[in-house]
Amino acid sequence: MSNPAYGKSLDTALIRHGLKLLCAGIHFDMGAALGLWHPRMKDFQGVFYDGKHVCSMDRGIAPEFKLWSIENGPIEIHPEKVQTTEGAWGSYTVIDPSDPTYPDGLVKSATFSDGYELHEGKLKKHRGFVIGQKCGPVVKLGWRHTFERLLYSNLPNITRRNLGIMFEVDMLKYPVGPPEEVMAALLEE
Whole-model pTM: value is 0.66
Is the domain of 94 the same as that of 145? no
For residue 71, the 8-state DSSP code is: E
Is the domain of 82 the same as that of 59? no
Is the domain of 30 the same as that of 122? no
Q: Is the pLDDT of residue 5 over 90?
A: no
3-state secondary structure 12-66: HHHHHHHHHHHCCCEEECHHHHCCCCCCCCCCEEEEEECCEEEEEEECCEECCCC
Q: Structurally, how many domains does the chain consist of?
A: 2
Is the domain of 78 the same as that of 40? no
pLDDT at site 188: 57
pLDDT in tens, 6-19: 688 999 999 999 99
Is the domain of 61 the same as that of 148? yes
Q: Which long-range contacts (CB under 8 A, 24 or more apart) does 114-120 make?
A: 115/78, 115/79, 115/80, 117/92
Containing 163, the helix (H) or strand (E) segment is helix 160-167
Is the domain of 127 the same as that of 179? no
Range from 9-23, 41-55, 113-127, 167-181 carrying the lowest mean pLDDT: 167-181
Q: What is the domain range of residue 81? A: 70-133
Is the domain of 83 the same as that of 30? no
Given CA atoms 107, 110, 112, 113 in this order, what sign does their dihedral have?
negative
133, 152, 168: which is the final residue of a domain? 133
144 phi and psi angles, rounded to 5 deg = -65, -35
pLDDT at site 38: 66
Is the domain of 75 the same as that of 116? yes
